Amino acid sequence: MDNPWKDISLDDYEKHMSLDSVKQLQTMNYMMKEQLEAYPVKTAMILGVAGGNGLEHISTEKYRTVYGVDINGEYLRAVSARFARLSGTLKCLEMDLIKASAILPKAELVIANLLIEYIGYEAFQRVILQAEPEYVSGAIQINTDNKKWVSDSPYYHAFDRLDEIHHQMEEGELLNVMKVIGYSEILRKEYALPNGKALVRLDFKK
């Protein structure tokens, strides 16, 4: 069975994520700017790059190579078209990170915002061990109201099948998972969202 992310249109995804009642696209854009500027690195890998939200913050003076990884080829084609100015720096990789056969290049920084939920801890460990970054910066969603994890919107049903692959994240467990593979937490930052939700950014250093 195909991964559900292959069937979600980029238009539905971006319209849902940018609604005033959701505001995840805007929040992650701000977060991505911080993440890209935070560390003295020349290579980065963005897992679950989708339509390229936040890539406008890539400085070609700082970055030699940035990999944009996603399972949906249509998303990546949109990224290449939207960010043609980054053609010498940005390299798009179509890849299913859940599969052990996925082979990733090395990168000094790995960014994974709302991605670990959809591949699980074990696959994320495997990805990090392959890429061998010095820094990892990831964001997970927490529900402070104990309600469903996808916010209501006119596009809600576009995400119906995500329950098949969604893993509820626990902050403490993610810290343990990263510690096992040699990474220590160096930053925790929380970003409030509407509807009783929040994004928690956790950064790690090897």
How far apart are the C-alpha atoms of 61 and 29, rounded to whole Å?
A: 20
Q: Domain limits at 121?
A: 4-205
pTM for the whole structure: 0.90
For residue 9, the cross-strand partners are none
Mind listing the pLDDT tens digit for each residue in 2-12?
887 788 888 87
> What percent of the chain lies above the pLDDT cut of 90?
66
Mind listing the pLDDT tens digit for each residue in 130-163?
999 999 999 998 876 555 545 545 444 556 666 6
Number of folded domains that form the chain: 1
- CATH code of 182's domain: 3.40.50.150
Average pLDDT, whole number, for the chain? Answer: 88
To the nearest 10°, report the CA torsion of 171, 18, 14, 198. Answer: 10
- Compute CA distances 77 → 52, 73, 80, 196, whole Å: 10, 6, 5, 34
For residues 46-54, give the mean pLDDT: 95
Look at the block and give the residue holding tokens 């969603």. Answer: 141
For residues 109-115, give the mean pLDDT: 96
